[in-house]
């Protein structure tokens, strides 16, 4: 494992991808910073982060050999490893908001961005990015955002939080995901935000619909039972949970 700590960078994912283009990197090479200036989340949403208050981490996982049609297993594994680490830090009421936001109560404290490198029909490598709000206490443009400090009430040592996360990610990402499919689904669904509840959703045309979250499919589609009584599947760009 190689850990590269940067004083500042635009994006740890971008930095790691650029390194990978320059030379072959060992499995579990990690790039991290406490000052990420151009962080992004799903659908290129900007990640608001105050310098030296939070963590941004990207890691390279090689030799995954996960079939393309089961790519969400990687996201599940990462989400569950982070939940496991935050449990050890006694963060309360943790859940995963589809597809991979980490919540405490209704507040978002972390987000995951995974970029897969595919060979044939297999995911061979993944660049796994994760941002965690640790000691930041003010969020200007993120109404649902919170941090470990706001939730628990004290400052955290960023290095301690970092190594706790890395330990769990290393442990979980080295397990054979494809053969643990049933277990991963059960654990992910047990931690899924608003699963089994009546919810409102916004469609791309800003129309609001209501339904009950059933779960996710093997390729990461959100399953929702709508008013017609049927289960419908939605991709990331097709539906947004309102909460």
- State the CATH class of domain 195-239: mainly beta
Tens of pLDDT along the chain (243 residues) come to: 899 999 999 999 999 999 999 999 999 999 999 998 886 655 556 667 899 999 999 999 999 889 999 999 999 999 999 999 999 999 999 999 999 999 999 999 999 999 998 888 889 899 999 999 999 999 988 889 999 999 999 999 999 999 999 999 999 999 999 899 999 999 999 999 999 999 999 999 999 999 999 999 999 999 999 999 999 999 999 999 999
Q: How many CB atoms lie within 10 A of CB 122?
A: 16
| Beta-carbon contacts of residue 73 (< 8 Å; ≥ 6 apart) | 66, 177, 178, 180, 181, 184, 218
Tell me, what's the pLDDT at 119?
86
Among 116, 87, 88, which residue's Cα sits nearest to residue 104?
87
- Residue-range domain boundaries for the chain: 1-189, 195-239
Q: Is the pTM of this model over 0.85?
A: yes
What is 1-189's CATH number, 3.30.1330.10, 3.40.50.720, 3.30.930.10, 1.20.200.10? Answer: 3.30.930.10
């Amino acid at each position: 494992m190689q850990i590269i700590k940067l004083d500042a960078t635009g994006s740890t994912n971008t930095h790691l991808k650029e390194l990978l283009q320059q030379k072959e990197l060992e499995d579990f090479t990690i790039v991290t910073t406490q000052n990420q200036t151009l962080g992004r989340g799903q659908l290129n949403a900007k990640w608001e982060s105050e310098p030296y208050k939070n963590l941004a981490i990207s890691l390279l996982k090689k030799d995954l050999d996960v079939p393309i049609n089961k790519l969400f297993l990687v996201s599940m594994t990462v989400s569950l490893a982070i939940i496991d680490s935050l449990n050890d830090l006694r963060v309360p009421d943790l859940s995963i908001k589809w597809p991979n936001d980490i919540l405490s109560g209704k507040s978002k404290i972390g987000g995951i961005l995974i970029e897969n490198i595919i060979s044939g029909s297999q995911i061979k490598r993944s660049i796994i990015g994760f941002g965690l709000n640790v000691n930041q206490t003010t969020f200007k443009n993120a109404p649902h955002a919170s941090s470990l400090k706001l939730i628990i009430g004290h400052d955290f040592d960023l290095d301690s939080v970092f190594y706790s996360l890395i330990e769990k990610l290393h442990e979980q990402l080295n397990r054979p995901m494809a053969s643990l499919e049933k277990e991963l689904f059960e654990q992910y669904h047990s931690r899924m935000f608003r699963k089994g509840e009546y919810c409102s959703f916004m469609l791309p045309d800003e129309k609001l619909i209501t339904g009950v979250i059933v779960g996710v499919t093997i390729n990461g589609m959100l399953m929702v039972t709508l008013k017609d009584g049927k289960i419908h599947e939605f991709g990331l760009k097709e539906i947004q949970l309102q909460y």
